Structure 1
Amino acid sequence: MKVGFIGLGTMGLPMTKNLIKNGFEVFVVSRSRQPIEEAVGLGAIEAKDPADLASKADVVLTCLPMPDTVEEVYLGERGILAGAREGMVLADHSTVSPGLNRKLYYLTKEMGVGFLDAPISGGPMGAHAGTLTIMCGGDKEIFDKAVPVFEAMGKNIFHVGSVGSGSVVKLMNNMLVGIHTAALSEAFVLGVKAGINPEIMRQIVKVSTGHSFMIDRVIDLIQDRDFNQRFSIQLLHKDMKIATQLGEQLEVPLELGNLSEKIIGEAMEWGYGGLDVAAIIRPLEEKAGVEVKRIP
């Protein structure tokens, strides 16, 4: 199969590299030149635009930051659908609403084109290692056609159910990311304010019932004051907002989700939006007058 990939960002570029490594002929489109040149240097072929890419590929993958970008790439004048062909498969790895997934699904179905929502989890490390979790919503026969491509990039590949269901699980996951990060920020700031070494706290919590994956993900970065972007606060806030909007639509009270969205939004207001999610702790540190930093 010939594969097209649109969006060579922090996740998309290493995913593309793994497709090339696994022997796929890969066509690429992205806004930035540097990742395009890197991918082409490894054997990818640059397409003129999404429509041109779709006309050349059997499977088209997209990994884009914002919902409006997804709509433009799929539905724009020179978007994917302008070059799509009957029988091909489209899969969107972006984190967007189930409603947008369904919109694209029904538009593509009319053309005889398969569509999957296929959000991913595992971060840049998983993207580089080819061990991503890929959670897919859509028709099972379309999923089965895409599995060989997904296996080049991921280790845990799930068909969740009908279109949009993969996005629901991804939004649930990222809502937990936001809640857990907000909670651990409060816990560690409280402990440091009370005079406890944060590394001792980390070691104890790791073998106790309060531990979470997000503590492993961020606490060393926080202690080392390394807030360089891996997964930005801005993107997490976008995901939290979509999740809480889904809660409103389904009439599910999300009190912790809404509160965590507010806390993450405050980090945005304080100017930390472009930093890694580890920096969610920064406004609380400033309010408390302490830093959760490593003690030599």
Structure 2
Amino acid sequence: MVCTCLPMPADVERVYLEPDGLVAAARPGTLLIDHSTVGPDTCRRIAAAARARGVHFLDAPVSGGPAGAQAGTLGIMVGGEWPVFEQARPVLDAMGKTVVYMGPTGSGAVAKLINNLLVGVHQRALIEMLLVGQKAGVDLDALHQVLMGSSGRSAILEMMYARLKARDLEPKFRTELLHKDLRLALEMAAECGVRSATGEAAFAAIEAAMQAGYADRDTLAMLLPLEREAGVQLFGASP
């Protein structure tokens, strides 16, 4: 069994599909599991190449970041053949708290792109509404407190509020990676005949952060162009 987790689709295709890559080097019966965030078509190409050589493949992207990996509490969404998933289950259970079989090859990738699009949407919405609250004269700590006990609560609010307040842009999830994920998610949505206006707004915010030179900073760097647009610094004065 070989598990990989790589940053970009080109890295995944190179590692798996080059003449000296994993598919070519693997012995028949080997199980390859990729935890990267890529499009479902990439997963299907790898699975087809693996199948032709008698090698098994699962797309099993993860959510939870380095902290979740260290604690063994990742969310893992898995695509591939059910018997292969069953074979891999003990390893996946050791890595993740929520391990869900999503369906055929590429299904894990679909679920992960949906998850990350929602991350981008929720993050932009949180920043915008905090800016609105501040400009409307509301105490943001009080707003945070009431939202945490109300229907507007979200995982992003829970995880990101303190970091926004501290202006902590140390990269836990790099801007360039969310930019890639949102692009792939929007491409997938378009292929399905669905326009995601909220996803487009999230992509515009992360694109602005990329253009401003924050590719290697945390995704919360989308805060900075949104502050400039609003004419106010969150938790502070005019930028």
Task: Tell me what 2:227 maps to.
Answer: 285
Residue 66 of structure 1 and its aligned partner are, at CA, apart by 0.2
1:142 counterpart (84, 104, 129): 84
Taking the TM superposition and a 5 Å limit, the aligned residue runs for 1:233-272 are 233-272=175-214
User: Partner of 1:61: helix, strand, or coil?
Assistant: strand
Residue 82 of structure 1 and its aligned partner are, at CA, apart by 2.6
Counterpart code for 2:39: S
Q: Is 1:66 matched up with 2:8? A: yes
Number of residue equivalences: 237
Q: Is 1:79 matched up with 2:21? A: yes
Residue 195 of structure 1 and its aligned partner are, at CA, apart by 2.7
Taking the aligned partners of 1:273 and 1:196, their CA distance within structure 2 comes to 32
Taking the TM superposition and a 5 Å limit, the aligned residue runs for 1:1-296 are 59-293=1-235
Taking the aligned partners of 1:213 and 1:243, their CA distance within structure 2 comes to 20
Deviations along 1:124-177, one digit per CA (max 9) or x if unpaired, are 221110111111000011111111111221111111100000111111111100
Question: Taking every aligned residue pair, what percent have the same amino acid on both sides?
Answer: 43
Paired residues of 2:176 and 2:210 also in contact (CA < 8 A): yes
What RMSD in Å do the two structures reach over aligned CA positions? 1.5
Where in structure 2 are there 5+ consecutive unaligned residues?
none
Q: TM-score, normalised by structure 2?
A: 0.95
Residue 83 of structure 1 and its aligned partner are, at CA, apart by 1.3
Taking the aligned partners of 1:74 and 1:131, their CA distance within structure 2 comes to 27
User: Partner of 2:14: helix, strand, or coil?
Assistant: helix
User: Partner of 1:152: helix, strand, or coil?
Assistant: helix
Counterpart code for 2:82: K
User: Partner of 2:217: helix, strand, or coil?
Assistant: coil
- Runs (4+) of structure 1 moved beyond 6 Å? none
Counterpart code for 2:69: A
Deviations along 1:26-81, one digit per CA (max 9) or x if unpaired, are xxxxxxxxxxxxxxxxxxxxxxxxxxxxxxxxx01110000000011111232112
Residue 258 of structure 1 and its aligned partner are, at CA, apart by 1.6
User: Partner of 2:94: helix, strand, or coil?
Assistant: coil
Paired residues of 1:224 and 1:293 also in contact (CA < 8 A): no
Taking the aligned partners of 1:99 and 1:150, their CA distance within structure 2 comes to 23
Taking the aligned partners of 1:218 and 1:233, their CA distance within structure 2 comes to 15
Deviations along 1:259-296, one digit per CA (max 9) or x if unpaired, are 221121111112222111222211111233322238xx
Paired residues of 1:198 and 1:292 also in contact (CA < 8 A): no
Stretch deviating more after TM superposition (78-87 or 282-291): 282-291
Taking the aligned partners of 2:104 and 2:63, their CA distance within structure 1 comes to 19
Residue 197 of structure 1 and its aligned partner are, at CA, apart by 2.6
User: Partner of 2:100: helix, strand, or coil?
Assistant: strand
Q: TM-score, normalised by structure 1?
A: 0.77
The structure whose RCO (Cα within 8 Å, separation 6+) is larger is 2
Residue 256 of structure 1 and its aligned partner are, at CA, apart by 1.4
